[in-house]
Chains A and B, each alone.
Chain A
Amino acid sequence: MSIWDSEFAISIIPVLLHGFWITIQITFWSFLISLAVGLVVSVIRFLKIPIVSRLGDFYVSFIRGTPLLVQAYIAYFVLPSFGLVYDALPTGIVVLGLNYSAYTAEVYRAGIEQLPKGQWEASRALSLPPARTWFRIVVPQAVRPIIPVLGNYLIMMFKDSAILSSITILELLGTALQIGSNYYRYLEPITIIGLMYLAISFPCSLLIRRLERRFVPTH
């Protein structure tokens, strides 16, 4: 038996593509969750409501300070003992989304904080109402530098979704490991999926680097 079996490698590609499709779905839905939850968290922290905002701070710091793998284990193994039984796939999507919401919350905050103070002062001088200050002045200027950062997190989520294979989700890595244990050939499946991750994330990160140069102000 040769070290690399090309026939075997080609024969497993359709199955791997199915896993790849699951990975894309996980990434897409988790990203949406992280954008929405991150926004809520950053607004809560921004409003400085006594106890609630501190809880927001703790949420961000705790999630960022603990491993995604353990968070996934807790969601997958602990919730059922409270009678909350969900399939692995939606559980994984929510865990990944919540994990990254702690990062997007920081990104939103940084985007707003890096806005020059003069913008706030000018809005006040023009006596714009708060809603207009936010939606016509702050948000449009904060969004541009945020986009490449969020793009980077999207790529990281794409790669981190592989961790969800540990809670039995058959995404790209899970599929490759299953093929590996069925045929006892690991070299081909793991090498192929490594290249598949690379084939997506490398062009995307090049794209984001171009966006960065265009969108991030130098003030």
Chain B
Amino acid sequence: MNAVIEFGPLLLQGLWVTILVTVLGALLTIVVAFAAGLSGLSKHWWLRVPSSIFVEFFRGSGLLVQMFWFFYALPFLGIQLTPLMAGVLALGLNEGAYAAEVVRGTIRSRPKGQTEAAIALGMSPSLRMRRILLPQSFPSMLPAFGNVMVDLLKNTSLVSLVTVSDLTWRAFTARTVTGATLELFLTILVLYYLLSLLLGWLTRWLEKKYALDRKSLAKARPLKNLVGGVSA
């Protein structure tokens, strides 16, 4: 345990970087998810097609490959990103592509009567989306978004491979100095676990707070999530 105590302050700095990367990545994920998800629902092909190309491209080629591409390959095209930017960009675009499918799927599965009633009331398409469909869809998006965020948190460990000094990177470098491999890695493993439990609780709290009714809360979990949710 000595190594963990000795390197405690450095590990804490790493934890802070991990949280920072998670928060920045989450913000980008949400922006990307709604931009790509809503474009995917558009009736204009020039919004739909780029959106689905983006989604398929980023879901299909793997996060770490994308991160390395932003970090190692982009400079050859004359664009130099800082490691942190490359990491956050890859995380946000990748997880955003998954979450875009959540946004698109949830809004599309709202009962048709809602859209019809809004049309009958003479609402324009954008007003219909903003005032009727989106507010109703947020609660049902929450469980799947929670999964994406836990995924994001775990995947922030990959930024250590592009030299961002996050929790994993700190433990890895402390290991080469002290050789206390087991203690250091177990410590950060537990820290990651606590953070993902925290995200899980946060999601469930939001679910409860914004549940439309009891029924929608009860059916928020089963197989449908696994099938239509965050999977590839």
A, B assembled together:
yes
Binding site for B on A (CB under 8 A): 3, 62, 64-71, 73-74, 77-78, 81, 106-107, 110-111, 113-114, 145, 148-149, 152-153, 155-156, 159-160, 162-163, 165-166, 173, 176-177, 180, 185-187, 190-191, 193-195, 197-198, 201-202, 205, 208, 212, 216
| Closest Cβ–Cβ distance, residue B157 to chain A (whole Å) | 4
Closest chain A residue to B183 by CB distance? A78
Contact with B73, one of A67, A153, A173, A186 (Cβ below 8 angstroms): A186
B-chain residues with CB within 8 Å of residue A110 when the two chains form the complex: 222-223, 226
Contacts A68-B154, A70-B189, A187-B77 given: A78-B182 contact, CB under 8 Å? Answer: yes
Contacts A66-B154, A73-B185, A110-B226 given: A190-B72 contact, CB under 8 Å? Answer: yes
Closest chain A residue to B161 by CB distance? A166
Query: Across chains A and B, which 9 residue pairs bring their CB atoms closest together, nearest first?
Result: A152-B231, A186-B72, A159-B62, A67-B157, A65-B196, A187-B76, A110-B223, A155-B232, A67-B154
Does B60 lie within 8 Å of A201, measured CB to CB?
A: yes
Contact with A77, one of B60, B66, B175 (Cβ below 8 angstroms): B175
Contacts A186-B76, A205-B232 given: A70-B68 contact, CB under 8 Å? Answer: no
Contacts A66-B154, A78-B185, A163-B64 given: A149-B76 contact, CB under 8 Å? Answer: no
B-chain residues with CB within 8 Å of residue A173 when the two chains form the complex: 62, 64-65, 68
A-chain residues with CB within 8 Å of residue B63 when the two chains form the complex: 159
A-chain residues with CB within 8 Å of residue B154 when the two chains form the complex: 65-68
Closest chain A residue to B190 by CB distance? A66
| Closest Cβ–Cβ distance, residue A68 to chain B (whole Å) | 7
Contacts A69-B157, A73-B172 given: A205-B196 contact, CB under 8 Å? Answer: no
Contact with A70, one of B65, B66, B75, B185 (Cβ below 8 angstroms): B185
C-alpha spacing A216/B227, complex, angstroms: 9
C-alpha spacing A211/B68, complex, angstroms: 33
* Residue with the greatest number of chain B CB neighbours at <10 A, chosen from A81, A177, A198: A198
**Interface of B (DSSP majority class):** helix
C-alpha spacing A43/B172, complex, angstroms: 36
Does B68 lie within 8 Å of A212, measured CB to CB?
A: no
Check if B192 is an interface residue, CB within 8 A of chain A.
yes
Contacts A77-B185, A149-B231 given: A194-B62 contact, CB under 8 Å? Answer: yes
C-alpha spacing A149/B232, complex, angstroms: 9
User: Which B205-232 residues have a C-beta within 8 angstroms of A?
Assistant: 222-223, 226-227, 231-232
| Closest Cβ–Cβ distance, residue A144 to chain B (whole Å) | 12
Interface residues on B, range: 35 or more
C-alpha spacing A162/B67, complex, angstroms: 11
C-alpha spacing A212/B224, complex, angstroms: 11
Q: What are 25 A-B pairs with beta-carbon distances under 8 A? A: A3-B77, A64-B196, A66-B196, A67-B168, A70-B157, A70-B189, A74-B189, A78-B181, A78-B182, A81-B181, A106-B226, A110-B226, A113-B223, A114-B223, A163-B158, A180-B72, A186-B72, A186-B75, A187-B76, A190-B72, A197-B62, A198-B56, A198-B57, A201-B59, A205-B232
B-chain residues with CB within 8 Å of residue A113 when the two chains form the complex: 222-223
Closest chain B residue to A148 by CB distance? B227
Contact with A190, one of B65, B150, B188, B232 (Cβ below 8 angstroms): B65
Does A77 lie within 8 Å of B181, measured CB to CB?
A: yes
C-alpha spacing A159/B73, complex, angstroms: 19
B-chain residues with CB within 8 Å of residue A73 when the two chains form the complex: 168, 172, 185
Contact with B56, one of A70, A78, A202 (Cβ below 8 angstroms): A202
Check if B69 is an interface residue, CB within 8 A of chain A.
yes
Contacts A69-B157, A152-B231, A190-B72 given: A205-B60 contact, CB under 8 Å? Answer: yes
User: Which B148-206 residues have a C-beta within 8 angstroms of A?
Assistant: 150, 154-158, 160-161, 168, 171-172, 175, 181-182, 185-186, 188-189, 192-193, 196-197, 200
